[in-house]
A and B are shown apart, each in its own frame.
Chain A
Amino acid sequence: MNSPTFNAWKLVSLSPLPSWALVALALGLVLGVGLAAWGVRREPSRGRRVLLWTLRLAAGVAALFFLLEPGIRHLQVARMKNRVAVLVDRSASMGFPSEPNGPTRSAQVAAFLEKAAPSLAALQDRFTVEMYGFDPELAPVTPASLAKDPARAGTTDLLAALRSSAGAGQGSRKLSGVLLFSDGADNTELKAGVVGRARAALADLGVPVSTFTVGQEALKDLAIEGLKVDDFAFVRNSLTVEAEVHGRGFRGQEVPVVLGQEGKTVASKTVRFETNDDVKQVSFTFTPDQTGRFVYTVSVPTFPDEAVADNNSRSFTLKVIRDRVRVLLVVGRPSWDERYLRGLLRQDANVDLISFYILRTLSDDPGVSSERELSLIPFPMEEIFDTKLDTFDVVVFQNFGHADPSLSIAEYERNLERYIHNGGAFVMIGGDSVLGEGRATMPTLMEALPVAAAGPANPEPFTARLTPEGLRHPVTAIGTGASSTEAAWAELPPIPGINLTQARPGATVLLEHPHQTVNGKNAPLVAVWDYGRGRALVMATDASWYWAFAAHRDGSPNRAYDRFWGNALRWLVRDPDLTTLKVTADPPSVEPGRPVGVVVQARSADYQPAQDAQVRVELFSVATQKPVAVQTGATGVDGVVRLEFAPPAPGPYKLLASAKKGETDLGQGEDAVAVRAVGPELSDASVRPELMEQVAKVTGGKAYKLPQDGLPDVPLLDPPVVEVGRAKDQPLWDRWYYLVALVGLLGAEWFARRRFGYV
């Protein structure tokens, strides 16, 4: 039988006594030494005193030696083979060139690892070397796969990768060190640097992380970074978008920055970069003039020698909503028609009513000696029809038409026409001063209206008749369904008189005179149309108040008037809830490479969920003005269907939806979606060597930069040692000379004490 091979030893106590007994005996010895020292404290000779103390102390130590029975334990031990993790950043920024016209950062790492393969293999004696790519999930990689497979991850999260590496690997083997290969472009926990919790987390790893920074800092690149904008804005209220433009290698150059809305330039500014690595803040203030969801893009031009072209623009979607509908009511003179419309608008909490009435004309004589006796104010024509016009959601002219120079709006007609064309809403209510009556013809404004004057008014009472278009239109939908709407209109009292007009091509007549015709067609009473980006409605009478007041003559409560004007306002301001088809991009901004989702909610004419409706959605590129893809589907019980498009190219898109249930058209709707050109990962091509250095410093590693000739001597923790074989004890105390020494010491002390006169 071969004797085992011991490769380690340690000193141990072989005493059979329990620990407490050993402690008690040791205390007794200390006490004995102390008492002996106390007994000779008055010894006048310093030399004798020291000799006695020394002999007693040495005898005590010798006695303790025998008590402890020291021995040597021979051991057979072995070292654990710990892990070394090689972590390679697989985020998309590693696809950037490591230097102008050079290989990608990933390729540079692959080349280095190929070169360092022998050194890494040499580490295998003491460590298990594991090689991972992180995105930030760890996945095994090889130098070949790094060179072949492009890096795609949308984020760089160094800390998550380091945490994962500590927990990865084989069984319970501990990590001795990490070799981290990255450009340092962290955009998650370490984005702000190695500070605060991130710093503590790195220190807690307890593993030296040696960093290898890849990529050059001095790239030439322009990037739109740090876009700050709210998710929604109020229509006709100013809004500010703040963007950071990062320029590298553009020292002394001026660069235009443009804010566009779906191909149309909203605002532009120029920035000048003072240094070769400069960040400029640019803010754009603009006023959205329509409700809905729109895609806006902030962009800078792309220069030929830039490292990354995709980060030169950044898109976002903005939902523009109404606050309160701001209505400007301009009244030619007080009348019952005005009184009931005012009463309605004033009680509507969603309406902010600003009104101006002409209470006195030049021909009126109030019979006062001083204007101070009157409560009248000047008519602020310039303010409301010029400087403030765009602040109104809806402008209502109620029998407002004056030929007097002091009250004529001839000078502002073009403003009003442009206001409607550019997205405003306008209502012309008839009477004896407008729509062919009176002397003010307002030809320019009339261009924007869906009807044209067609002769003298007809004062005979008539009952308004709903047209087929009116039966379906949200403005005239005053019932809970088509039949209910038809019945509601039929119940309303006759109204006394109509302005004679004829509909323009493209206009939609909703209510008409049942008998009076113009050029063979029934004279329109209510007509609407879209004019440019705006909307206009004409009510060709000054007696719609009959629907408000006279309708109650028989005692039945009737809210037709309220519903009609409420619907009209909502339609004029394009209230999304008024549409039977609601289209919502889900989400409104899509990261590159992600699918575009859309949720369509279909309702029937009575606003009930339309189950089993066939929905068709077209993904329409705003940039190319061409459809990109089409998806179809059927709605569920709740009238809702979600469709998804394969990831399209970056840019702004419209989602154009239509729906049918059987042969019934459920209408159309649209929304906007921005497919981003670059995520946070690609928006910044910069290398952050200082971050890599800090990571190394905090964890006890070293920082290097690629390229390197070979693997440097990186700090690694030694693997722990564990006993893997037998042990053998060898007593040390059972030697005769130890006993002789003890007896000699005690005898010498006894002799000295007697010699010096002590008992």
Chain B
Amino acid sequence: MSARRLTRRNLLLGSAALVPLLAGRAHAFGEKSRFIPAVAKHGGRWDGRLSGLRRIAWELQRRTSVEVVPDARPFPLSSPDLFEYPFLYFGGDGAFPALGDAEVTNLRRYLTYGGFMLADANDASDGAGFDASFRREMARVLPQNRLAEVPSNHVVYKSFFLLDSAPGRLLNKPQMLAATLGKRAAVLYSQNDLAGAWSRNESGDYEFDVSPGGEPQRELAVRLGINVCMYALCLDYKDDAVHLPLILNKRR
């Protein structure tokens, strides 16, 4: 995973990204209804993909009509302030200690009453590291709603871009997992370090190489990120009957 070379093109893109960021920082009417990612602070390494979140917010602003405030807001999971940010990123690199009871309770309430959480194994672990810790905590937060594979016809794969798989920085698992409450996926979990594919350093270069698909895979990871954000915002809008004929036609 090497840092990318600073190019004029990347510098321009990075500068352009600052415009909405600065605009978003102004206390403007409608700001709270905009897309503002919150980040879960836990006992492990939780803050390794903040630039990735900023980047995906910027992409969301650039590619869609969604208005964003891209600076992610970190909160302890026990914080009531979480309830002003319906999109929560829960990432980590390596194992993390067990959540406190207040955190578990608050997170359960957050998810139950309409919050959405994107979980992301930054270490792309499976059965160890972040993955083991996260599964352990999810069993406490939503004991009745176990993580299950997201079927390929789920609306998250068509909420803006038409996608077939769920790549991140890596492609260990072709699909994401979900914890579903009613008909709504309250938690989406990627074991492919999704935000790792989005992350840029301060000079505007991507922080990590993407494997095995290289830059096309990175683009797919960005598109998946936008779809996830769109799903959090629009739920099953793209499952409405009015969209189905056109989507089916495009998928042929």
Residues of chain A touching chain B, judged by Cβ–Cβ distance below 8 Å, are: 332-340, 342-343, 346-347, 354-361, 364-368, 372-377, 399, 431-432, 437, 456-459, 496-497, 499, 542-543, 545-546, 548-550, 552-555
- What is the distance, in angstroms, from A436's C-beta to the closest C-beta of chain B? 10
Chain B residues, CB < 8 A from A338:
233-234
Whether A497 pairs with B233 at a CB distance below 8 angstroms is no
A548 CA to B233 CA in the complex, in Å? 14
- Cβ of B81: which chain A residues have Cβ within 8 Å of it? 553
Measured between beta carbons, the chain B residues less than 8 angstroms from A367 are: 62-63, 219
Most buried by B among A364, A375, A431: A375
Specify which chain B residues have a CB less than 8 angstroms from the CB of A458 in the assembled complex.
Answer: 29
Across-interface contacts of A456 in B (CB, < 8 A): 29
A355 to B243, CA, bound (A): 10
The residues of B that contact A399 with a CB separation of less than 8 Å are: 30, 33
Interchain CB contact under 8 A, B114 and A548: yes
Of all chain B residues, the one with the shortest Cβ separation from A362 is B65
Pick the contact of B161 from A332, A354, A373, A437 — CB < 8 Å? A373
- Provided the pairs A339-B86, A459-B31 are in contact, do residues A372 and B250 lie with their beta carbons within 8 angstroms? yes
Inter-chain contacts of A366 with B (CB < 8 A) = 63-64, 160-161
CA distance A615 to B85 in the complex (A): 51
- Which of A334, A347, A456 neighbours the largest number of chain B CB atoms within 10 Å of its CB? A334
Q: Which residues of A contact B250 (CB under 8 A)?
A: 372, 374-375
B contact residues vs A (CB 8 Å cutoff) = 27-35, 62-67, 80-84, 86, 105, 109, 113-115, 158-162, 182, 184, 219, 230, 232-238, 240, 242-243, 246-247, 250
| Chain A residues with CB under 8 A of B162 | 372-375
Main secondary structure of the interface of A (DSSP, over half): loop
Contact of B32 among A347, A354, A457, A497 (CB under 8 A): A497
A432 touches B66 (CB 8 A): no
Q: What are 25 sample pairs from A and B whose C-beta atoms fall under 8 A apart? A: A334-B35, A335-B30, A336-B233, A338-B234, A339-B86, A343-B114, A354-B242, A355-B237, A355-B240, A359-B230, A360-B63, A364-B64, A367-B62, A367-B63, A373-B162, A375-B162, A377-B242, A377-B246, A437-B29, A456-B29, A459-B30, A497-B31, A546-B32, A550-B83, A552-B83
With a CB–CB cut-off of 8 A, which chain A residues contact B86?
336, 339, 549
Of the candidates A343, A360, A496, A497, which one forms a contact with B65 in the assembled complex, judged by CB atoms under 8 Å apart? A360
* Residue pair B34, A554 in contact (C-beta under 8 Å): no
Contact between A334 and B233 (Cβ–Cβ < 8 Å)? yes
Docked CA distance A354–B113 (Å)? 24
Instruction: For the complex, give the distance between the alpha carbons of A343 and B65 in Å.
Output: 20
* Closest-CB distance, B40 to chain A (whole angstroms): 16
How far does the alpha carbon of A554 sit from the alpha carbon of B105 in the complex, in Å?
A: 11
Kindly list chain B residues whose C-beta atoms are within 8 Å of the C-beta of A499. Answer: 29
In the bound complex, do residue A361 and residue B65 qualify as a contact, i.e. CB atoms below 8 Å apart?
yes
Assess whether A431 is in contact with B30, with CB atoms less than 8 Å apart.
yes
Q: Which residues of B contact A334 (CB under 8 A)?
A: 35, 64-66, 230, 233-234
A336 to B81, CA, bound (A): 16
Measured CB to CB, the closest approach of chain A to B65, in angstroms, equals 4
Q: Are A552 and B64 in contact (CB under 8 A)?
A: no
A555 to B82, CA, bound (A): 12
Docked pose: A336 CA to B27 CA in angstroms: 17
Q: Which of B62, B67, B240 contacts A365 (CB 8 A)?
A: B62
- For the complex formed, measure the closest distance between the CB of B234 and the CB atoms of chain A, giving whole angstroms: 5
Among residues of B, the one whose C-beta sits closest to the C-beta of A374 is B161
Pick from A372, A376, A542: contact of B30, CB below 8 A.
A542
Contact yes or no, B233 A335, CB < 8 A = yes
* Contact assessment for A549 and B114 in the assembled complex, using a CB-CB cutoff below 8 Å: yes
Chain B residues whose C-beta falls within 8 Å of the C-beta of A337 in the assembled complex: 33
Determine which of B159, B219, B234 lies in contact with A339 in the assembled complex, contact meaning CB atoms within 8 Å.
B234
Docked Cα-Cα span, A149 to B162, in Å, equals 85
Tell me the bound Cα distance from A704 to B33 in angstroms: 89
Please report the C-alpha to C-alpha distance between residue A300 and residue B63 in the assembled complex, in whole angstroms.
64
Query: Do the beta carbons of B29 and A335 come within 8 Å of each other?
Result: no
Provide the residues of chain B in CB contact with A431, threshold 8 Å. 30, 33
Chain A residue with minimal CB distance to B219? A367
Instruction: Tell whether A336 pairs with B159 under 8 Å between CB atoms, given A343-B235, A549-B115.
Output: no
